[in-house]
Amino acid sequence: MRQIPYVQAINETLHQMMGKDKNVFLIGQGVTSHWYVGTTTVRLIDRFPERVINTPVYQEVYDEVSSYLYL
C-alpha cells in the first residue's frame, strides 16, 4: 500500500473526483489560500477555476448556495 501524507491524499482525491464528475465543486472560506487549507487545494483553481469558489465567512452565502443547488 502506498503511504502518502494526509494532505496529499485529500488533494489527490479532490483532483480525481472533480475530474470525474462536473457536478463536484469546492466552496468555502480560504480554499484558495495556503494559510487556511495548507496544500490540500494545490492546483485545483488552475485546473477547475469555475468550480473552486472562495467565499467570505457569512452563513447567508452558504444558505443561498445550498438553496440554489437543491433546486
Grid coordinates of 48: 477547475
The pLDDT of residue 3 is above 90: yes
- Number of Cβ within a 10 Å radius of residue 7: 14
Share of the chain above pLDDT 70, in %: 89
Inter-residue contact 64 to 53 (CB < 8 Å):
no
pLDDT in tens, 5-36: 999 999 999 999 999 999 998 888 888 777 77
pLDDT of amino acid 71: 61
> How far is residue 17's CA from residue 32's CA, in Å, rounded to a whole number?
18
Inter-residue contact 26 to 52 (CB < 8 Å):
yes
Inter-residue contact 7 to 37 (CB < 8 Å):
no
